[in-house]
Amino acid sequence: MNYAIITALLLFASIQFVSIFGELSLLDHALFNFTVSLMQKIAKDDKSAILSPLSVSTSLFMVYLAADGKTKEQLQKILGGTARTSDLRQYFANQIADSANIKSKKYKLNVANRFCIREGFSVKDSFKRMLRMYYNETMHEFSFEKRKEFVKEINKWISSKTNKKIKDLINEDSINKDTNILLMNAIYFKATWKKQFMKILTKEREFHISENEMKRIPMMMNDIKLLYYEDNLVQVIKLPYTRPKIEMVFILPKARFGLSDVLAKLTGEDLFKYINDAKKNYVTVIIPKFQVKEKLDLKEALQKIGITDVFSGTGSFGELVNNTVSVSIGKVMHAGFIEIDEKGTESTAATVVDLIDRMGTQRRFVADHPFLFAIVDNLKTVLFIGQYVK
């Protein structure tokens, strides 16, 4: 599989225990709920979608560091639930450090953050120190008068951090005279299947988009021993990458056109269960080669899940500037890209592919209708989540 995911996020601003034996900590519980809630708000029945909960949450944590009072409490509730503040800070410190820039021949994860503020603002030294401590980042200034150059700089930065997969994310109209603070987060992910698909087995098959629409698309096939889960509503498979603990999870509704119902009923606990309760089975896997590319303004979706103060104009950002200064977020731009195929690497090196005897296959997983997918690290960090419709 040639697999690359990229996402970029821009924000424009004018019982506690570690998971053990399949149980969720308070913090994990909150972040799984955050992931599912946000996905539910952006999903449309007739459109594929992708977002990075890791990207969004690490940028919101930057806002959390800048906020105080009720505004900070609201962000704490959404990102951390009832977990202790110290646990929330430690979690994101670890996440940012672990995902800063990981590269190998068959795996690449690059997460980069940038904090930009309009010229003339007096930012507290304590916030600058936090920015360096958590993100290894310094302040960047911009001016409305020179927005053309600034937009060019932003798009160049995003492009460089996403292997040129995301270009021209914003334009001059994206920044107005009330834009005071800009937070940027870019994430690029590319990995190789542990058990790759053979191109010779890829052929066009029917993919049923809706009751009234069907198209023929390239579908990959593999017979493989993998982690599999099934209940009355869904089938789930987990395809591992060469890097340990990184997996792609496919959640296929049993009802051919049941994606919207499955997603509407999905909870954070359900997603965790699908990821953690899967057991090894021999499975014939048939999934599409596909690509999803999307740009979203997440402001409305974030407001619907309970993050409202930062957009209101009355939010408190006392950790960033003096509280007499009015600061609010105007837009939250999020762009994502995913590409799935057989190889899993851009290189032309030959690869040995192991196929099992199909006589041992016990299950069939045929993704010939809309489904959910997620990229998960260490069973509980959701790097990406999305849906493929067409």
> DSSP alpha helices (H): ranges in 219-340?
259-265, 268-276, 299-304, 309-312
Identify the pLDDT of residue 237. Answer: 97
> For residue 186, what are the β-bridge partners?
8, 112
Burial 107-125 (b: 16+ CB within 10 A, else e): bbbbbbbbbbbbeeeebee
Give the CB-side neighbour count of residue 273, counting CA atoms within 13 A.
Answer: 9
Query: Which regions in the chain score pLDDT beneath 70?
Result: 1-3, 13-23, 100-103, 323-324, 343-361
| Domain limits, the chain | 3-191+292-338, 199-289+346-388
Class of domain 199-289+346-388: mainly beta
Q: What is the rounded radius of gyration, in angstroms, for the C-alpha atoms of the chain?
A: 21
Give the CB-side neighbour count of residue 126, counting CA atoms within 13 A.
Answer: 9
Q: Residue 166 in 3-state DSSP?
A: coil
Q: What residue type is 143 in one-letter code?
A: S
Residue with tokens 């068959």: 106
3-191+292-338 classified as CATH 3.40.50.720: no
Question: Over the stretch 204-262, which tens digit does the pLDDT of each residue have?
Answer: 999 999 999 999 999 999 999 999 999 999 999 999 998 888 999 999 999 999 999 99
Q: Residue 150 in 3-state DSSP?
A: helix
Residues 65, 134: contact at Cβ < 8 Å? yes
**What is the value of pTM for the model shown?**
0.89
Q: Report the candidate in 321, 248, 217 with the shortest Cα–Cα distance to residue 50.
A: 248
Q: Residue 343 in 3-state DSSP?
A: coil
Instruction: Report how far residue 351's alpha carbon sits from residue 106's, in angstroms, rounded to the nearest whole number.
Output: 12
Q: Report the candidate in 220, 258, 238 with the shortest Cα–Cα distance to residue 378.
A: 238
Instruction: Report how far residue 52's alpha carbon sits from residue 258's, in angstroms, rounded to the nearest whole number.
Output: 23
Give me the sign of the Cα torsion angle 129, 135, 141, 144: negative
Instruction: Report how far residue 23's alpha carbon sits from residue 71's, in angstroms, rounded to the nearest whole number.
Output: 30
**Backbone dihedral angles phi then psi of residue 309, each to the nearest 5 degrees:** -55, -40
User: Hey, what are 13's tokens?
Assistant: 């601003």
Residue with tokens 């009802």: 255
> For residue 47, what are the β-bridge partners?
44
Q: What residue type is 1 in one-letter code?
A: M
Instruction: Report how far residue 361's alpha carbon sits from residue 366's, in angstroms, rounded to the nearest whole number.
Output: 13
Instruction: Report how far residue 111's alpha carbon sits from residue 138's, in angstroms, rounded to the nearest whole number.
Output: 16
Residues 234, 365: contact at Cβ < 8 Å? no
Instruction: Report how far residue 9's alpha carbon sits from residue 7's, in angstroms, rounded to the nearest whole number.
Output: 7
